[in-house]
Structure 1
Amino acid sequence: MAFGCQEEGVLLDLPDAMSSASVPLPPFLPSLDPRVQADVAAIARIGAVQSVLRVLLQLTGMRLAVVARVTDESWTCCAVLDETNFGLRPGDTLELATTFCNVVRCSESPLLVNRASEDPRFASHPAPKLYGIESYIAVPLSRRDGTPFGVMCALDPLPAAMQEDRLVVFRHLADLVGYQLEQEEQLDARAAQLLGAQETAQLREQLIGIVSHDLRSPLTAITLSAATMMRRTELDGRAREGLTRILQAAGRANRLIRDLLDFTQARIGKGLPVRRQAMDVHELAQQVVDELQLSVPERLLRLSCSGDGTGSWDPDRVAQVLTNLITNAVQYGPPGEPIRVDVQGRPDAVHLSVHNGGPPIAGHVLASLFQPFTRGEQPGGERRSIGLGLFIVDQILRAHGGSVEVQSTAGAGTAFHVHLPRTA
């Protein structure tokens, strides 16, 4: 029988239990290859492997069964069931050329040996000489897709009288192990991808928090300096206009930073803090609309209030909801149409709505509109927003026990409806 690999004898000491030699064996060397170590770990996680090895021993009457990772360069034990005190452990290596498994690897075929020392094919092989192995049966072990992995074998220092039909059972059991191995590797790959995504998201959120905190101080200094200069009476119209634009830009930047900080806090599971106090939503809405009207004098903001607007909410957070919704309407509504803000006091809640005209929101955008980093598709919208405003609105209302919904059609435009209960 010819094999496709050249085998060379290697000088090794042997364990007394498996060899006729009395020279003590040095400890088996563990594999240092991280890829092989990962394969050993994958086999160790397959609970059925030990049961398969037990079946092999019962089937053959042998006393040592092994699943080995066999490559062109190395032999590594992945799993072992040992009743001979051979001393082999998962992760240990043998010199590849001294093993019968190398024959199986080279021939890519099963192998059955009943009496190696008298078999003309293997009488001079290193395995019976160095390890005292007389009987051996093995099949190649492959992943389900056919990729070679190694060898599954049973062996013994005593001769045997096995028939070829034993190899049929070996093949079936090897297929089982190969299938389980592929499943385990797929699970590992998915877990690694999930971990990578989680680490990326965590790093992004930490970075957002750090950058946002660091940006607050210089923006505060800019705002205070511009506001101080605005109070000077000797400023001409051009200088005052420039300072106004600085204050408006600083205000937008501060709102962006606030949204980033809120996003970070919401994503790490802490939720947004709410400090309730007695307030009137009608008065707050008028203040927000007046301030925003100054920043966008070219747009018309219309506010209508009715019913009882008093209750216990966080005024800063409610103002943030209104600001984000109105700013969103200004960004995506047609320049020539007014933005309508309506506040209605109802018996158990206050209802707020912000409406703008224009084309409807696309269906695929509408489905994830309140998710972070979701932006509209109108021209220029992507340059004015990072897509956190509506996510923050939703989080604030959840913290108040409320909710927000959106309706967007070609005929009626887009309207955001806020339900703000008087009691959480």
Structure 2
Amino acid sequence: MVNDLEADVSAVSRIDAVPAILEVICRTSGMGFAAVARVTEDRWIACAVRDDINFGLKPGGELKVETTICNEIRASRKEVVIDHVAEDSVYCQHHTPAMYGFQSYISMPIFYPDGRFFGTLCSIDPSPAKLNRPEIVKMFRLFADLIMFHLQAQDKLELAQDNLRHERDMAARRERFVATLSHDLRNPLAAIDAGAEILKMESLGSRGATALQMIQRSVQRMVALVDDVLDVARVRLGTGVPVVRRNILTQADLEQVIDELRSAWPDREIRTAVAISRDVPCDRSRISQLFSNLVGNALAHGASDAPVHVEANCRDGVFEFSVANQGTPIPADMLETLFEPFSRHSNSHQNSRIGLGLYIASEVARAHGGTLHVSSAEDGTRFWFRMPLSQEAENDIGDNAGHDRSDDKANAD
């Protein structure tokens, strides 16, 4: 209960309008003291105070609740207005005015929307005042309602913030769980792959060799999926896609990616116009991953009887490449979410991934200070990546140009 009362006092003190309300009350009514009080059965606490008569009470200060008229208002639930105590038939002999030395008094109850009593908006002065007028009473009533409105708004805001914190905490827990699970899946996959490599050295029949090949392809696919999920978890947890910009990308690296995809898609044509006239400072593994994702994506979703066009060059201090394919255009509403996780823009039977390739590609582009865009119309779909070639990135390579992360290839979405 004590903590609740302290929270109520603090809540009133955070309402920016309260000091202005108390000033208006004093100036309009001619009263020298005004306060917002939290009143319970056993406590009277000043939440906010304007004191021009040196009454001596400050925010957080208390009066004995039984000595106050506010305690009676809590019981009666009605306002009290006194113009002149000495001439008032009800309060001329009352102990409260005599104890605190005031002659004029007004106090308006403040109620919660559900009818519960919060406290009062009250004002006193040692001299008589003309308070029992409709405009004064209505002003107090309006300000009492306004104070409660702000208190309720604070409660709703705090509840929303608590819910948001809870949701963020739960989301972070889920992301950490996914990251941990994905990391732990690497060990059994590595064991399966190692076992498959051992079996390759054995004499196997055609069925055994075919089964072993299927196992290794499945392992490679699982590793790629795990890597994708790990990358997404890193981004969602705020660490971002890990990038090591202490190596370089060459034309040979992109040609190697093209060769790998041609092997994986032997019935498809990939036409290239790759002319990289200089070394490109970047995380070679990640840019190759981005390149592979885009080309593989075009192969998976493009028309099977039309070639995929790939262009790459360095021009005007910018490294860029584009991938274009023919086929059904991507709907406009899907273009808006295409680079979000788990977004899939085709019902093709070849689209068997979980929709992370383009999202990871966009994060790799972002991590390099680059941009990734898409356009799609009847004449084809085109993705293009652009990255500034900064001098700082080149200098950062230094003697570490040969230090390279292990390739982290990921097939296209």
TM-score (structure 1 length as normaliser): 0.71
**Residue 153 of structure 1: CA displacement?**
0.9
AA at the equivalent of 2:359: F
Q: Which one of 352, 355, 359 corresponds to residue 391 of structure 1?
A: 359
Is the partner of 1:84 in helix, strand or coil? coil
Is the partner of 1:328 in helix, strand or coil? helix
Q: Which one of 415, 421, 424 corresponds to residue 382 of structure 2?
A: 415
AA at the equivalent of 2:311: V
Deviations 1:202-242 (A, max 9, x none): 4444344333333333322222222332x224122322233
State the alpha-carbon separation in 1 of the partners of residues 60 and 342 from structure 2: 48
Give matches, 1:133-144, under 5 Å.
136-141=105-110
Equivalent position of 1:27 in the other structure: none
Are residues 1:52 and 2:15 paired?
A: no
Residues 171, 218 of structure 1: CA spacing in aligned structure 2 closer, same or farther, 3 A cutoff?
A: same
Equivalent position of 1:354 in the other structure: 323
Are residues 1:340 and 2:308 paired?
A: yes
Contact 1:152 1:174 in 2 (8 A): yes
Contact 2:301 2:351 in 1 (8 A): no
Q: Which one of 164, 183, 186 corresponds to residue 132 of structure 2?
A: 164
Is the partner of 1:209 in helix, strand or coil? helix
AA at the equivalent of 2:386: H
Are residues 1:42 and 2:11 paired?
A: yes
Are residues 1:84 and 2:55 paired?
A: yes
Structure 1 residue runs without a partner (length 5+)? 1-30
Query: Which of the pair has the greater relative contact order for Cα pairs under 8 Å at 6+ separation?
Result: 2
Residues 289, 307 of structure 1: CA spacing in aligned structure 2 closer, same or farther, 3 A cutoff?
A: closer
AA at the equivalent of 2:185: L
AA at the equivalent of 1:418: F
Deviations 1:347-394 (A, max 9, x none): 445543333443222212212322344333536788621x43222212
Is the partner of 2:279 in helix, strand or coil? strand
Contact 1:285 1:322 in 2 (8 A): yes
AA at the equivalent of 2:382: A
Equivalent position of 1:304 in the other structure: 272
Equivalent position of 1:406 in the other structure: 374
Is the partner of 1:46 in helix, strand or coil? coil
State the alpha-carbon separation in 2 of the partners of residues 117 and 236 from structure 1: 115
State the alpha-carbon separation in 2 of the partners of residues 49 and 107 from structure 1: 25
Are residues 1:370 and 2:310 paired?
A: no
State the alpha-carbon separation in 1 of the partners of residues 63 and 208 from structure 2: 80
Identity of aligned residues (%): 33
State the alpha-carbon separation in 2 of the partners of residues 167 and 72 from structure 1: 25
Q: Which one of 196, 208, 230 corresponds to residue 226 of structure 1?
A: 196
State the alpha-carbon separation in 2 of the partners of residues 239 and 91 from structure 1: 86
**Residue 137 of structure 1: CA displacement?**
0.8
AA at the equivalent of 1:343: E
Are residues 1:215 and 2:182 paired?
A: no
Equivalent position of 1:252 in the other structure: 221
State the alpha-carbon separation in 2 of the partners of residues 295 and 244 from structure 1: 14
Residues 262, 116 of structure 1: CA spacing in aligned structure 2 closer, same or farther, 3 A cutoff?
A: same
Superposition CA RMSD, Å = 4.3
Equivalent position of 2:209 in the other structure: 240
Q: Give the total of aligned pairs.
A: 384
Residues 84, 399 of structure 1: CA spacing in aligned structure 2 closer, same or farther, 3 A cutoff?
A: closer
Equivalent position of 2:283 in the other structure: 314
Is the partner of 1:375 in helix, strand or coil? coil
Structure 2 residue runs without a partner (length 5+)? 394-413
State the alpha-carbon separation in 2 of the partners of residues 61 and 194 from structure 1: 46
AA at the equivalent of 1:394: S
Contact 1:280 1:311 in 2 (8 A): yes
Residues 248, 93 of structure 1: CA spacing in aligned structure 2 closer, same or farther, 3 A cutoff?
A: farther
Residues 240, 341 of structure 1: CA spacing in aligned structure 2 closer, same or farther, 3 A cutoff?
A: farther
TM-score (structure 2 length as normaliser): 0.72
Residues 162, 301 of structure 1: CA spacing in aligned structure 2 closer, same or farther, 3 A cutoff?
A: same
State the alpha-carbon separation in 2 of the partners of residues 53 and 277 from structure 1: 67
Equivalent position of 2:294 in the other structure: 325
